[in-house]
Chain A
């Protein structure tokens, strides 16, 4: 074996090992950046005005402006039962965001981020009075005041809030569509694809 051949063989062996050595290091670096972005995503979701208003329950003010900012709030308008946590299931779906290693070559290591689709969120956000419908989608496309009136007409109001509105209040409470889950997930699709290490 000539010196040249010996050198080439070592070089090839080292080059073949580089991806494996680098893989764990890069994975570690990527995980840190990914986790930071994921935390940012969850935090931003929990601080969204719609999320905050619903989390505040029956006593919330209409900080999302979806009901014209006047009397009433989304929790009661949608017709949730008192004590129900509508936000928890969405947070669980978002927490499932993960990544996996796709490809390792001499030149690059490729990761794939698995982010939920809007439909995954819509599937865990049923309307309390029509389970096939999603209240989260309704925030984007419109929600009728039906839940509000069904709630009002129940003697033992499910939300624990005696809704005392008349038709006049209902007129003020016409729902205004607002960007929510779809825009949020599309934004983080871009953020994750541009993740800086």
Chain B
């Protein structure tokens, strides 16, 4: 099936969400550390992976702050031209050439997001009660690499729950109303409050539509063409489609009483977005 409206919306929303959190909250930290060899059976045998203790690394070069995020382009002198793939999603590099051997200690610097961001179809009770996440603390410096593919916390899980077209104007124009919900699993109340505060203030923001083909990531979690800048990306696609509009946003925290019955010491919050777009769905 070719990508549909829903795919385009959720992709655009995710890119906006990531940029908004990093930009408004400077929700990242630069880390210097060792990457450890990790055998990944999902990849071709000739590929060697070296994992950092953190996922997800920052990719967006439009983010500036008191300390700009360091987006790696090479480790120990080896970069993309030497067959290195940067898997930002899993916080690791994939070596496809002959730059390193598996015994080698690779060190480097990279910016780690304070919150991993995931798309999910899981229910809130599954996310919050099943205690299935590995905690990947941003504060405790770990010496070990982290396994790829697993979802780890602190994280924000985004789910597009409902979509409804309501007649808006003559000529077949509808108001498409979407309910997008985010569950925030934070390490402490400070960072939870920070995230909730940032998104509570996002009411009436526009979210630019990025076509599915415009998504900056490759299948290996690297960025296409070696760099990604959200501001440039939206400027490239500006005007091609009416942007999404955040009609309303409500943030809330799991009550203290309920908190004690949920997953460990993690702090839980919710962000409920009502997102609208005016469009012609039948054309």
Contact = CB atoms under 8 A, between A and B. Distances in A.
Interface of A: 127-134, 141-142, 144-146, 148-150, 153-154, 170, 177
Interface stretch (B13-21, B99-107, B123-131, B235-243): B123-131
Contacts of B270: 130, 132-133
A145 B258 contact: no
Nearest to B161: A142
A131 B252 CA distance: 7
Nearest to A127: B252
Contact of A146 (B125, B179, B257, B272): B125
Contacts of B125: 144-146, 148-149, 170
A134 B252 CA distance: 10
A148 B272 CA distance: 20
B246 to A, nearest CB: 15
B227 to A, nearest CB: 38
B254 interface: yes
B261 interface: yes
Contacts of A144: 123-125
Interface string B246-275: 000011111101100110000000101000
B270 to A, nearest CB: 6
A132 B124 contact: no
Interface in B135-179: 161-162, 179
Given A141-B179, A144-B123, A146-B124, A129 B255 contact: yes
B258 A130 contact: yes
A120 B122 CA distance: 31
Contacts of A134: 250
A130 B255 contact: yes
